[in-house]
Amino acid sequence: EADIYQTPRYLVIGTGKKITLECSQTMGHDKMYWYQQDPGMELHLIHYSYGVNSTEKGDLSSESTVSRIRTEHFPLTLESARPSHTSQYLCASSEVVGEKLFFGSGTQLSVL
Amino acid sequence: AQKVTQAQTEISVVEKEDVTLDCVYETRDTTYYLFWYKQPPSGELVFLIRRNSFDEQNEISGRYSWNFQKSTSSFNFTITASQVVDSAVYFCALTAGYSTLTFGKGTMLLVSP
């Protein structure tokens, strides 16, 4: 059973709002990831972190930002949400690179 | 560069049929890891299997089996006697070296009663 949690599960907001999607894990994993999943199912890596104070951009350019101040916490922030940000956001963690990822339940974001 | 191709976008079967989901990968590394994940309608990705490049032995877990063939760079997944609960999106993925996980585009499996 994965011990990785995302909140909120669903979020509907208006254009221009600032939002933060929360992701926490209790497994002590150093590696954490954010994926954006489009309606066509494809998963795109948008941010990852290999440890505290370490963050990197993923394969897909994103207007979001992330921080990693604590091992267990990896929040994602959108300063000004737009309809194009409407998507499913999935957080994941792993103990080491090459090992399986544990995924959270995801946040379905809708920007009106 | 790494690449994972899942050519089947959607597959529909009737319950109790066997179904195979194809996965073809590309990598220049000799050491790599292959994965399959299941994403049911609830949205969470569930890990199914991890296989390293040095272990070509096929694996069976209940109704699930995986066929890894390095000669054709394939890691196919077969569900025997499919059930409605198997309906989900299935992702094949690859990691090599110190790279992040590369996912295929997914195959949606619909099992009807």
Q: A30-86 pLDDT, tens per residue? A: 999 999 998 878 899 999 999 999 999 998 878 899 999 999 999 999 999 999 999
Q: What residues of chain B lie within 8 A of the CB of A33, using their CB?
A: 100-101
Burial class, A1, CB count within 10 angstroms (exposed 0-12 / middle 13-18 / buried 19+): exposed
Q: In this predicted structure, what is the pLDDT of residue A110?
A: 96
Q: Which residues contact B93 (CB under 8 A, 6 or more apart)?
A: B4, B34, B35, B36, B37, B101, B102, B103, B104
Cβ of B100 within 8 Å of Cβ of A40? The answer is: no
A82 with A111: CB under 8 angstroms?
yes
Q: What residues of chain A lie within 8 A of the CB of B100, using their CB?
A: 33, 45, 48, 58-59, 97
Cβ of B100 within 8 Å of Cβ of A48? The answer is: yes
What number is the average pLDDT over the span B66-77?
Answer: 95
Question: CA of B36: which chain A residue's CA is closest?
Answer: A100
* Ramachandran bin of B10, using left for φ above 0, alpha for ψ from -120 to 50, beta for the remaining angles: beta
pLDDT band of A2, cuts 50, 70, 90: low
Residues facing B68 on adjacent strands: B75
